[in-house]
C-alpha cells in the first residue's frame, strides 16, 4: 500500500534522476514527476552536439570542484556521496557504457544522447513513475501536519509528503517568486556559458575555422582561459570562450557585455619569447613567401587573415619583412584585440548562474534548511559548472542525494 508521495518539479536531468532513483530505492513511495513543457530531458538531448556529455573523467574531487565558478564548497561535500565513478557505474549497470575523450569529457559509446534518454525512460517504466507533462508548479504551501500542498496552473493542487524542486535555472529573478514565498532567498540569475559577439569584425568571415589551443583574456580583469576556440559568423565560441563566460558571468554582465578580448593564437609564446624565436624563423624561412610558410601550425585561412589584417602582402618573403610590420604581426599573433559587443546563448543548452542561496540548503541531503521535506536538485540552486560535463554531474549527484535521503526516511516509517 502506497503511504507516501514525492512530487518532483522538473523533468530535466536532475529531476528525472531523482525521481527514478527514489522510486527504485523506496517501492512504497508514489513518485510524481511534473514537467512544465511538452519535452522531457531536453538538455540531455542536445548536450554535446546531440551526443550527451554525461560527465567528466576527473582524477578526483579536488580537480572537479575547481570547474564550478559558483558552488565549489557545496559540490565538494555533495561529491563525497555520489561522484563520477558512481555515475559511470549507474549507467553501466543498466547497459549503457561510457567512453572518455582526450579532453576528459565522457559520452555514451553510441555517441547518441537518445541512449541516455532511453535508459532513464526504461527506469521510469520499470518503477512505475507517474509523469505529467505541461504541468507547471506555481506555488508551495506547508501544511500544519508537515506535508505539502503543491499548486499547479488552473487551480489544481497536489498533496505531497516530500517535494523536490528541479525546475532548472531561471533567466529572470521574478520567476523565482514562488520559491521565495517558501522563505528562500535567491542569488540573482545571470547568463553563463555564452559566446562572444563581434558584429562586423572581419574575422567572422572565417566562420567554421577552429584553433585547437588559444588563450583568451578580458582586458581590465583577471579573467583568462585557454583551450579550443571556434570562429563563428557572429564572433567567437568554443570551450575557451564558454569557460571564460562562466567564470566571468557576473563581471561581464556588469560590463553589459561590452569589453575587449585579447586572443593569443600561440599560447606557447608571449611577445618576448616569440621575438626571440622570430630571428631563427627568419633565417630558416629566408626567401620563402610568408603565405606558403606558416611555421606555427595555425589554420591556413587564419594565417592568411592575420597577414592581411597586419597589412602584409601575402607574397612578402620572410627575409624581406619590414620591422614595423613584423612587430605588428607578432602582436597580432600573441595579443590580438577584439571588441566584444554582446553575447549569444543557445536556448536549449542555456545555463544560468544564480538560484537558491546555497547557505539555505544542506549539501549532504539537498534538503532546505528552512522547510523540512523540501529538497532541491540541479541548476535551480546557485551552482554552475563550466562546459565539459560538469553541470550534468552536479545534476546526477544532487538528484541521487535527494532520492537516497527520501528513501531513507520512507524506510524509517
pLDDT digits (tens, 9 = 90+) for 257-299: 999 999 999 999 999 999 999 999 999 988 899 998 789 999 9
The CATH number of residue 66's host domain is 3.50.50.60
Tens of pLDDT, residues 31-79:
999 999 999 999 999 998 899 999 999 999 999 999 999 999 999 999 9
pTM beyond cutoff 0.85: yes
Mean pLDDT of 390-406: 98
Q: What is the DSSP letter of 70?
A: B
184: phi then psi, degrees, rounded to nearest 5:
-85, 150
Q: How many CB atoms lie within 10 A of CB 311?
A: 10
- The pLDDT of residue 167 is 95
Question: Using CA atoms, how far apart are residues 413 and 409, in angstroms rounded to an integer?
Answer: 7
**How distant is the alpha carbon of residue 261 from its chain centre?**
21
Contacts of 302 (CB under 8 A, 6+ apart): 206, 209, 211, 231, 265
Q: How many CB atoms lie within 10 A of CB 154?
A: 7
Give yes or no: residues 150 and 248 share one domain.
no
Give yes or no: residues 288 and 202 share one domain.
yes
State how many domains the chain has: 2
Give yes or no: residues 337 and 354 share one domain.
no
Among the three residues 312, 329, 344, which one is the final residue of a domain in this structure?
Answer: 344
Strand 130-132, strand 29-34: pairing? parallel
Among the three residues 344, 359, 389, which one is the final residue of a domain in this structure?
Answer: 344
Q: What is the DSSP letter of 219?
A: T
Give yes or no: residues 267 and 295 share one domain.
yes
Q: Is the pLDDT of residue 1 over 80?
A: no
Give yes or no: residues 257 and 390 share one domain.
no
Q: Is the pLDDT of residue 241 over 50?
A: yes
Please give the mean pLDDT across all residues of the chain.
95
Contacts of 337 (CB under 8 A, 6+ apart): 219, 260, 261, 262
- The pLDDT of residue 277 is 95
Give yes or no: residues 10 and 106 share one domain.
yes
Give yes or no: residues 76 and 131 share one domain.
yes
Identify the burial level of 258 via C-beta atoms within 10 angstroms of its C-beta, where 0-12 means exposed, 13-18 middle and 19 or more buried: exposed
Q: What is the extent of the structural domain holding 236? A: 194-344
Q: Strand (E) positions, 113-156?
A: 130-132, 137-142, 148-152
Tens of pLDDT, residues 308-362:
999 999 899 999 999 999 999 999 999 999 999 999 975 545 678 999 999 999 9
Give yes or no: residues 367 and 229 share one domain.
no
Tens of pLDDT, residues 212-230:
999 999 999 999 999 999 9
Give yes or no: residues 160 and 17 share one domain.
yes
Give yes or no: residues 181 and 222 share one domain.
no
Give yes or no: residues 47 and 154 share one domain.
yes
Among the three residues 324, 344, 364, which one is the final residue of a domain in this structure?
Answer: 344
Tens of pLDDT, residues 136-150:
999 999 999 999 999
Tens of pLDDT, residues 114-130:
999 999 999 999 999 99
Q: Is the pLDDT of residue 405 over 60?
A: yes
Handedness of CA 89, 115, 56, 127 (dihedral sign): negative
Give yes or no: residues 16 and 114 share one domain.
yes
Amino acid at each position: 500500500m502506497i503511504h507516501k508521495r514525492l512530487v518532483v518539479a522538473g523533468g530535466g536531468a536532475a529531476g528525472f534522476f531523482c525521481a527514478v532513483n527514489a522510486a527504485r530505492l523506496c517501492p512504497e513511495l508514489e513518485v510524481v514527476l511534473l514537467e512544465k513543457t511538452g519535452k522531457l530531458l531536453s538538455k540531455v538531448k542536445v548536450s554535446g552536439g546531440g551526443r550527451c556529455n554525461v560527465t567528466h573523467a576527473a582524477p578526483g574531487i579536488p580537480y572537479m570542484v575547481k570547474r564550478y565558478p559558483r558552488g565549489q564548497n557545496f559540490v565538494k561535500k555533495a561529491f563525497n556521496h555520489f561522484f563520477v565513478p558512481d555515475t559511470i557505474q549507474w549507467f553501466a549497470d543498466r547497459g549503457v557504457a561510457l567512453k572518455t575523450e582526450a579532453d576528459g569529457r565522457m559520452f555514451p559509446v553510441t555517441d547518441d544522447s537518445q541512449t541516455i534518454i532511453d535508459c532513464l525512460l526504461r527506469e521510469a517504466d520499470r518503477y512505475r513513475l507517474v509523469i505529467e507533462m505541461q504541468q507547471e508548479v506555481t506555488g508551495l504551501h506547508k501544511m500544519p501536519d508537515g506535508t505539502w500542498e503543491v499548486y499547479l496552473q488552473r487551480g489544481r493542487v497536489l498533496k505531497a509528503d516530500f517535494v523536490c524542486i528541479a525546475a532548472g535555472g531561471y533567466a529572470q529573478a521574478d520567476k523565482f517568486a514562488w520559491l521565495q514565498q517558501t522563505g528562500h532567498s535567491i542569488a540573482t540569475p545571470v547568463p553563463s556559458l555564452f559566446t562572444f559577439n563581434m558584429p562586423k569584425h572581419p574575422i567572422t568571415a572565417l566562420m567554421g575555422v577552429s584553433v585547437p589551443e588559444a588563450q583568451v583574456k578580458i582586458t581590465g580583469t583577471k579573467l583568462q582561459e585557454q583551450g579550443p576556440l571556434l570562429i563563428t559568423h557572429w564572433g567567437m565560441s568554443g570551450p575557451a570562450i564558454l569557460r571564460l563566460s562562466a567564470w566571468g558571468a557576473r563581471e561581464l554582465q556588469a560590463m553589459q557585455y561590452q569589453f575587449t578580448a585579447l586572443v593569443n593564437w600561440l599560447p606557447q609564446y608571449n611577445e618576448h619569447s616569440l621575438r626571440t624565436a622570430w630571428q631563427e624563423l627568419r633565417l630558416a624561412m629566408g626567401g620563402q613567401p610568408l603565405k606558403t610558410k606558416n611555421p606555427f601550425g595555425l589554420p591556413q585561412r587564419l594565417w592568411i587573415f592575420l597577414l592581411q589584417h597586419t597589412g602584409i602582402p601575402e607574397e612578402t618573403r620572410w627575409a624581406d619583412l619590414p620591422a614595423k610590420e613584423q612587430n605588428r604581426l607578432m602582436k597580432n599573433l600573441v595579443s590580438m584585440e577584439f571588441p566584444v559587443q554582446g553575447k549569444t546563448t543557445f536556448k536549449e543548452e542555456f545555463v544560468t548562474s544564480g538560484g537558491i542561496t546555497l547557505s539555505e540548503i544542506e549539501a549532504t541531503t539537498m534538503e532546505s534548511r528552512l522547510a523540512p521535506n523540501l529538497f532541491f536538485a540541479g541548476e535551480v540552486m546557485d551552482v554552475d559548472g563550466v562546459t565539459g560535463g560538469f553541470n550534468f554531474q552536479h545534476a546526477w549527484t544532487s538528484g541521487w542525494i535527494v532520492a537516497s535521503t527520501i528513501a531513507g526516511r520512507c524506510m524509517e516509517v
